[in-house]
Structure 1
Amino acid sequence: MDAKHRLVEVPGGRIHLVEQGTGPLVLMVHGFPESWYSWRHQLPALAAAGFRAVAIDVRGYGRSSKPHEVEAYRMLAHVADNVGVVHALGEETATIVGHDWGSPIAANTALLRPDIFTAVALVSVPYTPRNGYRPTDAFAQVGGAEEFYVSYFQTPGRAEAEIEADVRAWLGGFYAGLSGDTMPPADQGSLFFVPAGGKLSGRFPGDALPGWLTETDLDVYADEFERTGLAGALNRYRNVDRDWEDLAAWDGAPVTQRSLFIGGELDASTTWMADAIAAHPATLPGLVSSHILEGCGHWVQQERADEVNRLLLDWLG
């Protein structure tokens, strides 16, 4: 079965997607700094099992629309894009799957539009309902003398200047730094904190690529970001306070649809957010199963493609 590339019109612009197979729709949403290509192992597996598997380039990435305004990347816009994709594909309902930033996008899409998204799978990042703390205020209180990476990303142009100086090397270092087989030892300092006057890349490991990432794979990611720049991708981080304001009516709200969580044992998203995973029986009352993959880092569906495919298909079935 060949994968098809398409551009579909949504109310906020255009979304590029790759689809494979026929059957019930499964919409896959990637995170930072990635693309539809992050789901390259899942597309054929889901299609072979009788699903219409669709992986999008999130707005700001790849061949999807890249609005200039920072506020165009708020959570409500991403929810609207996902709804628009389902409608553009002629479907009425879908299962949504998200990794990294795609996980909160998927969770909030299911939360706001349960009429369309009947099930949700979260990969790497657990569900955390909106709470009473303004995100940037909370981030400013962690790290002591060092700056949390989300805070580092807030000023437009700052992180872009670091990354775009050598996109391929930066991406390779970032992927390696968060991969189970290449991440640096904890005593070398956290990749998520930037020393005063430093750069995020200052704590990247050496030049070795993780086992899941070939030179060709890295070329695919680098070619896209060298063409598009990083502003659209980073603008998602610059909307965390707008999201907090927009979602006030859903403060503390659970996602009640049938759900699945898959995390990596060595991923900071599952260690720092262990309390959120423990709270899933209340925040994800439709949770069918939860899995922490031993020795796995952040790039879960790429590091452990076969295992993730099996877990997804068991759940979808």
Structure 2
Amino acid sequence: MSEITHRLVEVPGGRIHVAEQGSGPLVLLVHGFPESWYSWRYQLPALAAAGFRAAAVDVRGYGRSSKPAQVEDYRMVSCVADNAAVVRALGERSAVIVGHDWGSPIAANSALLRPDLFRAVGLLSVPYTPRGPHRPTDGFARMGGEEEFYVSYFQTPGRAEAEIEPDVRGWLAGCYASLSGDTMAESAWLVRPGGRLRDRFPEGVRPAWLTEADLDVYAGEFERTGLTGALNRYRNMDRDWEDLAAWDGAAITQPALFVGGELDPTTSWMGRAVEALPRTLPGLAGAHLLDGCGHWVQQERPDEVNRLLTGWLRSLS
């Protein structure tokens, strides 16, 4: 089997780093927060072995990809444009797109806005939610109650960075542990008044799926780049809502797959969105919740996710 290769491709907003393996129909893999292309390390060889060309990007602001200076440069339509440009730069006319965490709405909106390029969409952990009538930050402000929901906490530039960047490795370890099926922390994504997000992270534990070497990779990337580019995606949710007004309530009609973790708090926060998937994704082939699994599904349960992904991808042809 071929090895993973790395390249930088030109996109309208700069350059995007792509890690790819295999040959065949293109499958574009889009990571979430706080991750990188490396979160697909188990899927790249599995998809290549199954006869696909798997390409995992570093989303703008992450890893080796460009890091625009302005907050508004991280809006959803720019991420969609990056994905479209990557498909073209790789010499392909179409792709299946698969995303996890923030990569899931990026993948979903790529399919919604560019059905000419993205012929199917796979969503991990975060279900598709069509644009609704209410400004996103208003909803997140209500979700925290007397405390502060993490998305609200991330809105002010510099605030979360001041918490994270003095100890990137420790913060990442706590973040991953807090949403993993085997080390999950209660209410880890609510911030007490005057507190920090990490105050509820589990101390001194590392989830089984995360080796010290894996943590080194993630920490090394964020220690080099900082967290601002990654956090700026959260700071554009209201801009996204304005940009996507023409697609209010729109369903995604391409073939689709959803895979989540039974223990993932996202499944609870977005329970109505999961129930609505047959309507919002009328081409849905299956919605799978993995028993005992947390948020980081493709890393926590790589064999199960690979089996579901490859089976679905083969059915598309």
User: Scaled by the length of structure 1, what TM-score is found?
Assistant: 0.98
Shift of 1:12: 1.1
Residue 17 of structure 1 aligns to a residue whose secondary structure is strand
Distance in 2 separating the partners of 1:243 and 1:142:
19
Cα offsets for 1:222-275 (capped at 9, x unmatched): 000000000000000000000000000000000000000000000011122111
**Does the alignment pair 1:92 with 2:89?**
no
1:23 aligns with: 24
Residue 229 of structure 2 aligns to a residue whose secondary structure is helix
Give, as a single letter, the amino acid of the residue that structure 2 aligns with 1:302: Q
Q: Which runs of 5+ in 1 are unaligned?
A: none
Distance in 1 separating the partners of 2:287 and 2:249:
21
Shift of 1:208: 1.4
**Does the alignment pair 1:205 with 2:202?**
yes
Distance in 2 separating the partners of 1:259 and 1:183:
29
2:106 aligns with: 105
1:8 aligns with: 9
Give, as a single letter, the amino acid of the residue that structure 1 aligns with 2:157: P
Shift of 1:153: 0.3
1:180 aligns with: 181
Cα offsets for 1:98-127 (capped at 9, x unmatched): 000000000000000000000000000000
2:249 aligns with: 252
2:189 aligns with: 192
State the aligned residue count: 313
Could you tell me whether the CA contact under 8 Å between 1:265 and 1:271 is conserved in 2?
no
Shift of 1:293: 0.1
Percent identity, please. 74
Distance in 1 separating the partners of 2:107 and 2:65:
18
Distance in 1 separating the partners of 2:294 and 2:238:
28
Residue 16 of structure 2 aligns to a residue whose secondary structure is strand
2:49 aligns with: 48
**Does the alignment pair 1:295 with 2:292?**
yes
2:281 to 281, 284, 307: 284
Residue 159 of structure 1 aligns to a residue whose secondary structure is helix
**Does the alignment pair 1:262 with 2:259?**
yes
Distance in 2 separating the partners of 1:128 and 1:142:
16
1:125 aligns with: 126
1:35 aligns with: 36
Q: Which runs of 5+ in 2 are unaligned?
A: none
Shift of 1:57: 0.2
1:306 aligns with: 303
2:272 aligns with: 275
Give, as a single letter, the amino acid of the residue that structure 2 aligns with 1:93: S
Residue 18 of structure 2 aligns to a residue whose secondary structure is strand
User: Scaled by the length of structure 2, what TM-score is found?
Assistant: 0.98
Cα offsets for 1:33-67 (capped at 9, x unmatched): 00000000000000011100000000000000000
Spell out structure 1 runs of 4+ moving beyond 3 A.
none
Distance in 2 separating the partners of 1:281 and 1:306:
26
Give, as a single letter, the amino acid of the residue that structure 1 aligns with 2:215: L
Could you tell me whether the CA contact under 8 Å between 1:15 and 1:64 is conserved in 2?
yes
